Structure 1
Amino acid sequence: MGGDSGPPVTVPAALAALKKHPLLQITLVGDEQQITPLLTSLSPNDATRVDIVHTSVAISAHARPDKVLRGSRDSSMFIAVDRVRQGLADACVSAGNTGALLMAGRHLLDAIPGIDKPAIMATLPATRSGGYSYLLDVGANVSNNAAELYQFALMGSVLASSLSERPHARVALLNIGAEANKGTPEIQQAASLLADSPELNYIGFIEGNQLYDGVADVIVCDGFTGNITIKTSAGAVKVIQGLLTKTIRAGWYFRLLSLFARPLLLGIQKELNPARYNGATLVGLSGIIVKSHGHASQDGFEHAIRHAIKQVEDDVPALIAGKMNHASE
């Protein structure tokens, strides 16, 4: 029940998902006094599919991530992840502190055999049909070696196949150039591993200016590079939206043109809406954890829940474990 807005956003999003998925059961972990008043619209039948686990302890967005292990075991985040560990929940969706969520996940859930480090996989808009590509790692790690990048590629291909139903997901390495001799030794070594793997549909290097072209379904990079990339992208979207608004308001002529161009502008606004891309998955662990952006709207948080539902339906951790087993053979 975390995030910038808390239960007023996350609870309605959960209830909206409940209505769209008849088999869904939801446990809301947080302050019962804040949650209960938001459940008045529930029908008697739907009410039987919602549980509340009360705790008034929350981890602040500015708290040190290691606090979740030292002094916040009664926090809503820790309890939610622990329910996945115990098998009381199939997935955890949180809009809280990313570092703390990562720390709780690593502490409570086992790593999938063959995975050295988990990664965070985010969704990117793409201009091709289908509209999405996936980028990992976007911040679970500061640096990664070639073997870890190879593991990210395997995990990313499984998750892309689940979320986008692309059985032969195209995998690329993010690099400073497309030429074979470009990149750090780690990237060069990772490229050799990916190219030699029969488990992957590896298409080679791509540069930053190709991220949104849709040439790859999965784009692999180290966590430091990925985190800067995803945040730069979010900033660029805000600038574009701001420039469009500023231009329209600049004079009567542009306001008049905007009336005629309204369908076009609405289409652009829909494509740039961050809610469509909300929900980053922590991959590599034995349980499913989806991280929503802290600023997410109700639609955005509901989208993150849908991410989690699809991964539960496909049992993504088991698929990743199978992929790692085949790769090791």
Structure 2
Amino acid sequence: MAEVIIAIDCMGGDFGPSVTIPSVKRILRKYPKVAFQLYGNIDEIQSQLRLHKIAANNKLRIYASDNDVLMTDKPAVALKTKKSSSMRLALEAVRDGQANACVSAGNTGALMAISRFVLKMLPGIDRPAIISAIPTLKNDHVYLLDLGANVECDEKRLTQFAIMGNELAKCLDDKPSPRVGLLNVGEEDNKGSDILRKASELISSIESIDYAGFVEGNQIFSGEYQVIVTDGFTGNNVLKASEGLTHYLAHKIKVAFERNWWAKFCGLLAKPVIGAFKAEVNPEKYNGACLLGLRGIVIKSHGSANIHATYCAIEEAILQSYQKLPHKIRERLQQANDKLTKDMS
């Protein structure tokens, strides 16, 4: 495979280089043809490279940043005043063709605003959507979007999400006809808001989408769908509630096996099964949400991501780079967008 270059915003998130550098070390072991551009405070980055015994070579290039984006910064302020931040420089590297993808755990609003300004949108797409895979009962995953980038959505934007999610599933999962659903309070056609009903009509009119209609919340994890579309407010709450439920179940299982000596003995016997369960539903495994709809690849890592979760986010950027995802989506979007524009005119 050809070499891929990933630009890393090392100063983003709660832990900065102390998490990104060891994650890069792990990636280099698995993907020897991948190179990195590290953006941030040079002293902090070099300190972590020494700590983890990573020698400077042509696979790692360090670029100094200044006035980096804080988690408390408003998107407009970060866009206008922090033009030499690690986030901005990493995105510009993607724009200029120096890197194939950008990974950042920084301020989501700022990343969205700067990405949109620097990279621009694909033709026919108004705003980026955050999309990520979540586990299902069928040992597979479903892509859920939007996860917080667009709190309020009209029928046109929801339809754009369906188009993009459909094409992403085709590209990354090699599924010729992913099953797409629209999240609603019921499956019946008369349920939900006017916007949802109009969006359902638009999505169902696009021949390239295998649209399954409305989906209720209890079907998200069923494995019957490959893509589920919703607005950013709902999607973000679904994601956070799912993460909270995962931690709740893990805690309750642990407490149950610590009640008495017999429970502890049963817990010891069940340890391999419990371990497999935790590994399967671990949110870290699914870290790395894509900002879909941009002209370049941008992966948003969770702000509190640890080393393993950051590794997963970087790996997602690598896989999408090898797939040349934006180019494929752009090609496949054109026909669907032409029909969408015609139907809405």
Match of 1:100 in 2: 110
8 A contact 2:69–2:87 mirrored in 1: yes
8 A contact 1:72–1:78 mirrored in 2: yes
8 A contact 2:49–2:55 mirrored in 1: no
Match of 2:184 in 1: 175
Q: CA deviation at 1:37?
A: 2.7
In the alignment, does 2:266 pair up with 1:266? no
* Amino acid in structure 2 at the alignment position of 1:312: S
Match of 1:113 in 2: 123
SS of residue in 2 equivalent to 1:52: strand
Gaps of 5+ in 2: 1-9, 340-345
Match of 1:32 in 2: 42
* Amino acid in structure 1 at the alignment position of 2:37: T
* Amino acid in structure 2 at the alignment position of 1:313: Y
* Amino acid in structure 2 at the alignment position of 1:22: P
In the alignment, does 2:165 pair up with 1:132? no
**Distance in 1 between residues matched to 2:55 and 2:170, nearest whole Å:** 35
* Amino acid in structure 2 at the alignment position of 1:34: E
**Distance in 2 between residues matched to 1:110 and 1:72, nearest whole Å:** 18
Match of 1:307 in 2: 316
Alignment equivalent of 2:58, drawn from 27, 41, 48? 48
Match of 1:319 in 2: 328
Distance 1:65 1:249, change over 3 A: farther
Farther off after superposition, 306-315 or 258-267: 306-315
Alignment equivalent of 1:12, drawn from 22, 33, 39? 22
Farther off after superposition, 207-216 or 61-70: 61-70
Alignment equivalent of 1:84, drawn from 74, 89, 94? 94
8 A contact 1:150–1:194 mirrored in 2: yes
Q: CA deviation at 1:10?
A: 0.8
In the alignment, does 2:259 pair up with 1:247? no
- Using structure 1 for the length normalisation, give the TM-score: 0.95
- Deviations for 1:269-303, whole angstroms, at most 9, x for unmatched residues? 11121121101000111111000111212121111
**Distance in 1 between residues matched to 2:301 and 2:282, nearest whole Å:** 14
In the alignment, does 2:221 pair up with 1:212? yes
Alignment of 1:65-80 (within 5 A): 65-80=75-90
Q: CA deviation at 1:43?
A: 5.5
Farther off after superposition, 238-247 or 269-278: 238-247
* Amino acid in structure 1 at the alignment position of 2:274: L
**Distance in 2 between residues matched to 1:56 and 1:75, nearest whole Å:** 5
Aligned residues: 326
Match of 1:159 in 2: 168
**Distance in 1 between residues matched to 2:161 and 2:330, nearest whole Å:** 13
Distance 1:230 1:293, change over 3 A: same
Alignment equivalent of 1:286, drawn from 268, 283, 295? 295
Match of 1:238 in 2: 247
Match of 2:195 in 1: 186
8 A contact 2:94–2:101 mirrored in 1: yes
SS of residue in 2 equivalent to 1:25: strand
- Using structure 2 for the length normalisation, give the TM-score: 0.91
* Amino acid in structure 1 at the alignment position of 2:250: Q
Farther off after superposition, 97-106 or 32-41: 32-41
SS of residue in 2 equivalent to 1:135: strand
Gaps of 5+ in 1: none
SS of residue in 2 equivalent to 1:116: coil
* Amino acid in structure 2 at the alignment position of 1:96: G
- Deviations for 1:302-328, whole angstroms, at most 9, x for unmatched residues? 111111111111111111211221111
* Amino acid in structure 2 at the alignment position of 1:222: D
- Deviations for 1:9-41, whole angstroms, at most 9, x for unmatched residues? 111111221222232111011111111133343
